Amino acid sequence: MYKKIGSFSVFLIVISFLFINLIKAQEITIGSQEEWLENLKEWTDIMVEDGDWYYSNNNNKTSYQDARLASKHTSNCALMVVHALQRFGAFAENNKIWADDYGNLVYRPDNSNITQERLKAVANVTTYNGKDPDEVDLEPGDIVYYNGHVNVYLGVENKVRKYYDAGRSTTNTGAENGVWSSFIKKSNDLGHKIYGVIRLKYGQTVEVEGSSDDEEHVYNGTTEDAYENGFISKVNSNNNFTCHTVFLNADGSNTEFKNILDSLFSIMQFLAPTIAIALTIIDYIKSIANGDTKKANSRTIKRIVIAVIIVFLPLLLDLLFHVFGLYDLSTCEIGR
């Protein structure tokens, strides 16, 4: 019996590693420069048409999907760009960046290089030590970050630079909680020095880590998404599973798969020590009758080891996912 239990635990470990490898990496193809600009226009048009997007630096939703479904629509200079990147398929729903007051990029989620590696995969980042805009060779679609600000360069119109800019100044009040009616900003002097330019790797197929999206996308303006005015198309990725979609429903409740897995682990954690104790008692009764306890001692040690592995298998799986940078322990909680 204990051999069967041991084989089953090894089987589950092997399956977990295969599961990790399936979701660890995938390929996405970045859309063209024209598609990126079209995606930006569509997303900012959606925000304007909604008519109630407020500038805010508090309680914002990292995911553009969550932000669109929120009762109060909030965004800011960097988040508008982040949401556009997510909608375009370049970023996953948990990826977020902004520029601090010193012109350094800040990456989220916290204490992780997930977003930084994602950005390196999908874009070329050129850093500057605070240059004037006319000293930097910008192309339409470039994401530009300054000391405390982010926007997207759109080119020159009547000798004046034009940007998609979700700063306070483009709202109807020019202050916190102001509403946007347009994101177009025209100025040759934004009052900021350029500290970096992010240029997407247009048309390239790149490998990225598994993400917390329900599925990855690459934009080509052909397939409607969950929102009336949005357009995204499926990327050539395989088996992109995550804690959020495999273990949790949209309302935060457990999926049926999570419930079954939890029940399975609970049964295993109860049966493993119970069976080990029962078999050990039987062995010792037999060994006392035969006058030889060595065999019983050996079997008992093996059963204890197997039982401990099975009892702590859920925690082991969570730790493996955490080590591989796939999940946060507080969100997966497999079997716990």
pLDDT tens by residue, 47-78: 999 999 999 998 899 998 899 988 899 999 99
What percent of the chain is modeled with pLDDT above 90? Answer: 46
Decide: residue 71, CB within 10 A, 0-12 exposed, 13-18 middle, 19+ buried.
exposed
**HEC readout, the chain:** CHHHHHHHHHHHHHHHHHHHHHHHEEEEECCCHHHHHHHHHHHHHHHHHHCCEEECCCCCCCCHHHHHHCCCEEECHHHHHHHHHHHHCCCCCCCEEEECCCCCEEEECCCCCHHHHHHHHHEEEEEEEEECHHHCCCCCCCEEEECCCEEEEEEEECCEEEEECCCHHHECCCCCCCEECCCEEECCCCCCCEEEEEEECCCCEEEEECCCCCCCEECCCCCECCCCCCECEECCCCCCCCHHHHCECCCCCECHHHHHHHHHHHHHHHHHHHHHHHHHHHHHHHHHHHCCCHHHHHHHHHHHHHHHHHHCHHHHHHHHHHHCCCCCHHHHCCCC
Which residues sit opposite 164 in a β-bridge?
152, 184
Decide: residue 290, CB within 10 A, 0-12 exposed, 13-18 middle, 19+ buried.
exposed
264 or 99, greater pLDDT: 99
d(CA 176, CA 178): 5
d(CA 210, CA 107): 17
> Residues 108, 91: contact at Cβ < 8 Å?
no
Dihedral pair phi/psi, residue 168, rounded to 5° = -60, -35
Q: What is the pLDDT of residue 194?
A: 97
Mean predicted confidence (pLDDT) in 215-239 = 35
Confidence of residue 11 (pLDDT cuts 50, 70, 90): low
Asked which of 25-39, 97-111, 179-193, 240-254 is least confident by mean pLDDT, the reply is 240-254
Q: What is the pLDDT of residue 12?
A: 52
Residue 296 has pLDDT above 90, yes or no: no
Q: What is the pLDDT of residue 239?
A: 30
d(CA 241, CA 246): 6
What percent of the chain is modeled with pLDDT above 70? Answer: 70
> Residues 115, 97: contact at Cβ < 8 Å?
yes
d(CA 197, CA 206): 20
12 or 92, greater pLDDT: 92
335 or 313, greater pLDDT: 313
Mean predicted confidence (pLDDT) in 152-173 = 96
Mean predicted confidence (pLDDT) in 24-30 = 76
d(CA 22, CA 157): 47
Write the pLDDT tens digit of every residue in 147-158: 999 999 999 999
Q: What is the pLDDT of residue 154?
A: 97
Write the pLDDT tens digit of every residue in 251-268: 455 667 767 777 777 787
Residue 311 has pLDDT above 60, yes or no: yes
Asked which of 15-29, 41-55, 79-93, 136-150 is least confident by mean pLDDT, the reply is 15-29
Longest dimension (CA), the chain: 101
Confidence of residue 233 (pLDDT cuts 50, 70, 90): very low
Residue 211 has pLDDT above 80, yes or no: no
Q: What is the pLDDT of residue 277?
A: 84
Residue 303 has pLDDT above 60, yes or no: yes
Q: What is the pLDDT of residue 142?
A: 98
Residue 89 has pLDDT above 60, yes or no: yes
Average pLDDT score over the chain: 78
Residue 228 has pLDDT above 50, yes or no: no
Q: What is the pLDDT of residue 103?
A: 95
Which residues sit opposite 126 in a β-bridge?
197
pTM above threshold 0.85: no
Closest CA to 68 of 281, 57, 5, 79: 79
Encoded tokens for 64: 């553009």
> Residues 143, 152: contact at Cβ < 8 Å?
yes
Q: How many C-beta atoms lie closer than 10 Å to residue 156's C-beta? A: 13
Mean predicted confidence (pLDDT) in 277-297 = 76
